[in-house]
Homo-oligomer: A and B are copies of this chain.
Amino acid sequence: MSAPLPEILHQLNADMREDPDWGAVAAYIPELGRIDPAQFGIAVATADGALHAAGDADTAFSVQSITKVFTLAIALGRAGDHLWKRVGREPSGRAFNSIVQLEAEGGRPRNPFINAGAIVVTDQVLTGCEPRETLGEIMQFVRTAASDDNIHINETVATSENVHGHRNYALAHFLASTGNLNNSPEKTLGTYFHHCAIEMSVKQLAMAGRFLIDSPQLPRMILTQRIRRLNALMMTCGHYDGSGDFAYRVGIPAKSGVGGGILAVVPGVASVAVWSPGLNRYGNSLKGTEAMARLARIMGWSVF
């Protein structure tokens, strides 16, 4: 690594804006469908407390599936290994919203990051609580992790997800039919759609991701062993059916969201958030993935 990090991020931002192919934004709800794809932002929070950023780093975007990491951390904190009775830990080899595997495996989702698995995780966190309490707990976790109270749920997005959420209702009812849902599909999905509708900028997201760095320099939110396990799950399952490709090209644990965000962790070193709303064919950010690959190569951040 020759250049300092701020300079590298600055250059990366410039490079990313050269290629006019920004990919296509998710169009399943109008709130995401009308976002301008030609945006890019990146932020790095390092273990020593610094935060560097470039590009559209202050624009709040819908973090969507990236919140699955936070709810999973909370669910594991509450249920421990008991959670794995309800959901597996293996890559799915299928699209994020596939219902096929759910039938083949009797209603136990393959991992907590595909939609079916994340619905079970939300259902677990919700058990014994009201949606309002659960969402309060999730928001508190995220805000504490980010040291930032100015993080909110976009109610319009949550409502729209519910209106266009037939596929997720299909998954939730299927889970209910196999006995793997403690709450009603409506209640669980209401909570799920809300936490997926959290909005953050890459600066806020990079800060919130610090709890996965596992550095003695940082305040500790969860145990080292749990951090390692969350990072392992992000490595093998964090990009749906493109997880193997991301591990091959980038080499660090990360979780993507359909809003175009990616949260990546360099164990012991840094938390990285990148955002560009145009997606590739796996439903992961096109420019975000490319930027992560370049940054990891320049910084020698691959864990391999």
Contacts and interface: CB of A to CB of B under 8 A. Distances in A.
Interface of A: 88-94, 98-101, 103-104, 110-111, 166-167, 169-171, 173-174, 176-177, 185, 225, 227-229, 231-233, 235-237, 241-245, 247-248, 251, 253, 267, 297, 302-304
Nearest to A227: B304
A93 B93 CA distance: 5
A229 B297 CA distance: 12
Given A90-B241, A235-B236, A304-B253, A170 B99 contact: yes
Q: Which has the most chain B C-beta neighbours within 10 Å: A110, A111, A176, A244?
A: A244
Contacts of A233: 244, 247-248
A300 B169 CA distance: 42
A228 B297 CA distance: 11
A215 B233 CA distance: 27
Interface of A is mostly: helix
B91 A243 contact: yes
Contact of A236 (B91, B170, B173): B91
Nearest to A233: B248
A92 B110 CA distance: 12
A111 B241 CA distance: 12
Contacts of A229: 248, 304
Contacts of A166: 173-174, 176-177, 185
List the 5 closest pairs (A to B, CB-CB), nearest first. Answer: A93-B93, A91-B91, A231-B304, A166-B177, A90-B244
Given A236-B244, A304-B231, A90 B91 contact: yes
Given A93-B91, A93-B101, A236 B243 contact: yes
Given A103-B99, A173-B167, A228-B251, A267 B303 contact: yes
A177 B167 CA distance: 5
